[in-house]
Structures are given as structure tokens and as C-alpha cells.
Amino acid sequence: MAEAREWAIGGITSAGQQPNPERHENGEVTFHLKAPNAKGVQVVPLGGDNGMGDGPFEMTRGDEGEWTVRLRPARPGFHYYLFSVDGCECLSPYAEVFYGWGRVCHGLEVPGGNDPGRALDVSHGDVCLHWYPSPITGRLRRATVYTPPSYATDLDRRYPVLHLQHGSGESDRGWTWQGKTNFVLDNLLAEGACEEMIVVMDNGYATPAGVEADPHPRGGDNVFEDVLLGEQIPDIGRRFRTLDGCGNRALAGLSMGAGQAMRIGFKHLDTFGWIGAFSGGGRGFDPATSFDGVFADPKAIDSRLRLLWMGCGRLDGGYESAKTMHETLDASGIAHGWLETEGAHEWRDWQFHLQAFAQRLFR
């Protein structure tokens, strides 16, 4: 399959590929920042198991006040980072920006490693920004919606829906800009490896009407469950050509979103027949008591749930608890999917999880 060079791949804001960092043929990258009067400038990876390697990385001052550092990233995939200029946490105007860690930050995209989200010369679906009224929050909410290639022209057809949630400190944009969900699905569809589906990527934060919203939402108490069930799903059903019923509706997410998928999904098995948890949601699992005891009768849950699927990277801080849930489910005779990937709590692993999960959905 031919590689398609996208005009603005990876770019959430820009017209073209931003020049920072500079990419070398051997896979190394050079970061740049002009700071003529600074005493010290660093590249600061966000997260302890960031695939850029162990930072912060000290930059070196050049003659014109241009600071640089040349690195060989440790792993392919998408890695969050920032700059620090004499202790001032900041961003370069010449590097792409994303939203994660509760702030605007940069992302380094390291090619290679069988990238599930690379842009190939196949049919492409669209990604819609869709606004819907939310009396529960007293706000106009916005969701990001992927529609598959046939959606625009096959007007008599209706589609199943995957609701796909981001992690803490991220937003509804994460699954598109960091995760490239549209290309992951386009690539699977081009190989006939999954069913055509609509993917709804909403904000996992929802503050009740009249309450001031946290400008750096990280999850916690909110009314997202009520918004999802009472507002978003009905709205999507009115505005998109969806198929009804729990057999046609999946709920999945990463990290915080994995927790939401399990907590909300197991409570509403009449709504969601397929549940996916990527790198999260399994901590302290006890089949007798967790999730209001829905797993206490393995046969009952087996008959109601078409698929429970879990994935986690081996370098992920939550790997042991996810694996323990998987083993406990096995020991209890509860059918489920399980995938261990090689990476950490990062987007490349979540892309692999989505790629594997999507192939089992609605079949």
C-alpha cells in the first residue's frame, strides 16, 4: 500500500509540517528554540515512561542564541513534551501543538514500528466536529465524529457506533490528532479487516449547569455518564445514520476513558454490547463485588456482553493491575479479549489496542 504524504499530517493547527524538531535520515531529531538571553534551555518530556527517553534534555546555545539538542528517541510513536527556558515552561511557535497533561503541549511523532495510523493511499473517511445542546451541563458541547468512507455516498445505509474516550488531561481531539483514529480505521477498512462504523469521540468531562468548569479538567466527579446516555447518544441517533440497540453500540477508552468505559458500560449493558478498556479500568478487580457485582454470575454477563476487551502495554504503570484483571477473568471463566503490547502509557499502544479491538467489533 503506497504511503501518502499528507500535506499537514500531525498538524492540529498548521498549514504544513512545522519545522521543529528537525528530522534526520538516521531517525535522530534536533529540537530548536531561539532564546538569545537565556541561561539554560531544556526539552522536557511529559511522563516518566515517555518514549523520547529520560529527560529533561539540556540544550546547547549556538552563536545566534539558537538553542539545540539532538536526540535519538527511544521508541516510535507519539510523545508529549514542552520547553523550559530558565524555568519558564513554554512552547515554540514553530512546533506542532496538542492538548494533553491538562495543557497545550508539543508532540514528537517518531515514525516506524508498524504505525497503525499512518496515512496510506486508501479511501478516507471524514472527521466531523459536531455541536450538540446539553441542558445537563448548560452548555453547547462538541464531539468529534468519524464517519467511514462509504457514509457520504451510501445514503440508505446505517452504521454501528463506537464511543471512544480519551484519557485524563486530554480532550475529544486526542483520538484524532494524537491517535489518528480516522487513519487507523481507514487502513483496516481498506483491508476488509473491520466493519464500517461511526466513531464518536466526546469530551469525558461534564460539569453540571451552574457550576464553574475546571479549566484544567482531569476527570473525577462529573456528569459525563448522564450526558452520554441522556444527551449525546440520542443526539447522535438523530443526526447520524446509526443502527440501534446494544449489539450496534460499543464503548471504549484509554486510561481515564477505560475506567469510564467499564464503569458506565457494565452499568448499562442494555445500551453497550461491546466494551473496550485500553490501559486502565482494572485496578482492584474482584468478580464478586466490582462493578456492582455484575461479574458475580459469569453466565449472566457472558449472555449480555458480546465482547469485553482489554489491552495494556508491558511498560505501562498499570500493566500489573490490568493483567491481574485479565487473569481473574480467565480464572472465573469469563470470556474476554486480552492484548499485551510492547510500550508504555502512550498513544502508540492505544493505537494498537484500537486496531485490535476494532477488528472484533460488530461481527
Which residues 13-52 are close enough to bind its own copies by CB under 8 A? 13-19, 33-39
Q: Which of 131, 191, 193, 211 binds its own copies (CB under 8 A)?
A: 131
Q: Binding of its own copies at residue 92 (CB under 8 A)?
A: yes
Q: Which of 1, 211, 213, 335 binds its own copies (CB under 8 A)?
A: 213
Grid coordinates given for 226:
448522564
- CA distances (Å), origin 144, targets 126, 132, 180: 10, 11, 12
| Separation between Cα atoms, residue 153 and residue 165, nearest integer Å | 27
Q: Which of 25, 64, 216, 363 binds its own copies (CB under 8 A)?
A: 216
> Judged by CB, which is closer to its own copies: 89, or 297?
89
What x/- string results for residues 134 through 173 when contact with its own copies is judged by CB under 8 A? x--xxxxxx--x------xx-x--------------xxxx
Question: Within its chain, how far is the Cα of 202 from the centroid?
Answer: 11
| Separation between Cα atoms, residue 64 and residue 67, nearest integer Å | 9
- CA distances (Å), origin 203, targets 88, 212, 234, 261: 29, 16, 16, 13
For residue 311, what are the contacts with CB-CB under 8 A and spacing of at least 6?
276, 277, 278, 279, 322, 338, 339, 340, 341, 349, 352, 353, 356, 357
Longest Cα pair distance anywhere in the chain, in angstroms?
71
Stretch that binds its own copies, among 51-59, 99-107, 268-276, 298-306 (CB under 8 A): 99-107
Q: Binding of its own copies at residue 86 (CB under 8 A)?
A: yes
> Judged by CB, which is closer to its own copies: 85, or 269?
85
Q: Which of 1, 129, 211, 335 binds its own copies (CB under 8 A)?
A: 129
Of 234-263, which residues contact its own copies (CB under 8 A)?
Answer: 238-240
Q: Binding of its own copies at residue 126 (CB under 8 A)?
A: yes
Q: Which of 25, 63, 64, 215 binds its own copies (CB under 8 A)?
A: 215
